[in-house]
Structure formats: structure tokens, C-alpha cells
Structure 1
């Protein structure tokens, strides 16, 4: 998968990874590439978006050769309720009852998926307390282990309180950050991987470009 191009020797499975970005939509391009790679090797993928409709997502994925009618791909757009996320994972998850009682009904069941992408995870919990956010991450970690699912969660830096962001980073199995710097009228983009299960932290940030084919590594320059 695309993670190997970042210089990681080991690509973890059945984990919860946090994908952060200071500004922009690069993480969505990254997710669509992940989705394409996973489907190409026969993985079942759930793609959940809080920002786009199913129609728009399907059109964007066509750029990567992904067809929305692929039987191994389920797209859920305009997603807005955190309780529905856990209702899809477990019919009666303890966090569902805590947040909303017994009012929520099951929408989908994602426990048979191999990869579950949640773009953007942070927007689902903007109005929740830090305790609820940490319990949500703990729940996803348990679900990933029990049901052999890799969760990829996206977040815009600064959306959640600083304490909540630090707690999420400390709890997840890996953190990938897309950074943008503006210098002398130029835009420089870097990938920082401060944490990844099974791998030593990279000692340099990785320069990259965004093209019509997705994210490509810029091997001419490495800074850190």
C-alpha cells in the first residue's frame, strides 16, 4: 500500500491510524489512494465522509480507477452522528447508550470490513467532552483488534482542543501528518510520521507533491 512509499519498513495491520493536516484536502487524496490500493488486493473498504456526499466521493474516486459499484467498497457520505459510527461497529455499543440511550438503530455493520476510513473524524466530536473523545478512540482500538479492521481517521489540526488532540495522538497506533510551509512565494509540502506501530520514528520529514495520480514522494529533497 501507499504507506510503504513513505519509507516505512513495516505496514501495520488491524490498527488505528490518525492522519492530520494543518490545512487543505491532501488527506482526502491520501485516503482515496489507500482505498484504491486496498481494493486492488481484494480488501473490503468502508469509506465514511463527514464532508462530501456519496455522489461526489464516487466521482473523486473514479480518478483513481475506483468504481462506486465495486462490491467490496461501501461509501457513506454526509455522515454527521458519532453514535451512528459505533452503532455500525456494534449493534449496542456502550458508547451509544452513554451518548444517546437506546434511540439509535443500526445503519450498517462494518465489522466485516478490512479497512474503514473516516474523513473527517475530528468533526464528529467537535462538541463532545475530552472524556467522550478518548473513550471513542479506545473503542475503535478494541474494535480494530476484535474484528481485524484497520481504521484511518483524519483530523484538521486545531479543530479539537489541544488536550484532546494530544490524547488522540497518544492513544492511536500511528500518526501521519501532512505539513505545508510557505517560503519565498513557494509552497513546500512535507510528511511527518512521529509515531507508527512496529516502526522506529523517521528522523526526517518527507517532501512530497500532489499530482493527478495522487501523492508522489519528492526524492530530491529530504528535510527534518
Structure 2
């Protein structure tokens, strides 16, 4: 989390899957252990997330709150996100779920509202599966976000490899490569070794 720009809205996206959620949960655990207050909003079952974080041995003892929100009303989500004062880091797992039927102008206004709240001292992580929102909505979200982290899954023979790509991050020098990573019992491990030959 220390690498994220302060007062920002960061998009974490992948084609489909749970790697983005696990990545965000590791970020949440690190932030909570550093004394930050983390507010995790999800359309998923909160107990499943707690169980998953317990299996990964990353469930924080303090500073971490999960809120289930199953309705798809974007105004209700925005009211919750913008009025909750305890979240230094706010994670929205399955962000597109709440904006499926909103027109582009309304979507732009919603993102602008989050950006305005972020500028008061919070970081928002918005998790999305690519292709759920209309293409113009996704392009607008990438353009308005302060940072974009992409998780890509590639099949190579009989193996599945996952990569982290950061095409946009305000105030950071961008990497010229995608970083391979694995998720094991030891954690979310990014392979930063240089390969030669």
C-alpha cells in the first residue's frame, strides 16, 4: 500500500477469477497491520472472505471491517463509501456489479464523486472483471483512475501463469515488464528475479 499514491482511486482488474480479490486482501492485511483502517465492501459472502483470509493466514485482528452489500443500487453504494469515515483504505470487490445499468454520464459522476472523497485522504481500490461493464464505461474508469493494476492469466502448455501489469500509477515510475506471481500458502508472491539468456 505504501507504493500507492495517497488520496487515490486505483483500479485492479482481471479477465475473470479471484486473483484480484486475493491480491486486494493481502493489501488490506498489510494496511491493517500498519495501523490503517480498512473497509472492505463486497457482494460476496463476508464469512467466505474471512475464511479465505484465515486460510491464507492474513486476517487482521483489528482495523479490518467487511460490509456485505448485495443490492445493486449505485447511489446506496456511493452513500456508503463516501460517508464511511473509518476507512483509510476502502476496497470494493466486484465494483461493476453495482453499476450494470447506469448510463455513461451517471457512471462518470459516480467516479468523480469517489475521486473527490479520495482527495480528502483515502485510497479506494475498485476490483473489476473486464467485460462486465460496457467498454466505454471501462475505458472511462481507466482514464479517471489514479492507477491501474491488471492481472493477466496466460496458458503456457499445461501450465497457467499469472502476471501483474501496472500500466498506470500516478507518481510512480512504470515498469517495462509484467511481473509473474503465484499465490501459495506462503502468500501472494511476486517474482522480481531478472532472467538472462
Decide: shared fold, TM above 0.5: yes
Matching residue of 1:73? 64
Listed as ranges, the gaps of 5+ residues in structure 1 are 5-9, 91-108
CA deviation vs aligned residue, 1:153-208 (integer Å, no higher than 9, x gap): 00101111111111100000000000011122221211110000101322111111
Displacement of 1:126 in angstroms is 1.1
Cα drift, residue 82 of structure 1? 1.8
Whether the aligned pair in 1 keeps the contact of 2:153 and 2:160 (CA below 8 Å) is yes
Task: Give the aligned partner of residue 180 of structure 1.
Answer: 153
TM-score, scaled relative to structure 1: 0.80
State whether structure 2 residue 111 is matched by structure 1 residue 137.
yes
Distance in 2 between the 1:89 and 1:75 partners?
12
Distance 1:71 1:191, change over 3 A: closer
SS at match of 1:86: helix
Which of 43, 53, 57 is equivalent to 2:45?
Answer: 53
C-alpha RMSD of matched pairs (Å): 1.8
In the alignment, what sits opposite 1:124? 98
Instruction: State how many pairs are aligned.
Output: 193
Question: Could you give the per-residue CA deviations for residues 40-74 of structure 1, whole angstroms, max 9, x where no partner exists?
Answer: 01100100011x2222222222233425xx45222
1:88 is aligned to 2:61: no
Contact 1:48/1:79 (<8 A) preserved: no
Q: TM-score normalised to the size of structure 2?
A: 0.90
Shift, 1:32, TM fit: 0.9
Distance 1:220 1:38 in 2: 25
> Tell me, what secondary structure is at the counterpart of 1:198?
coil
- Give the match's secondary structure for 1:66: coil
CA distance in 1, matches of 2:22, 2:177: 22
The offset of 1:209, in angstroms, is 1.1
Please identify the structure whose Cα radius of gyration is greater. 1
Aligned to 1:20: 13
1:191 aligns with 2:164: yes
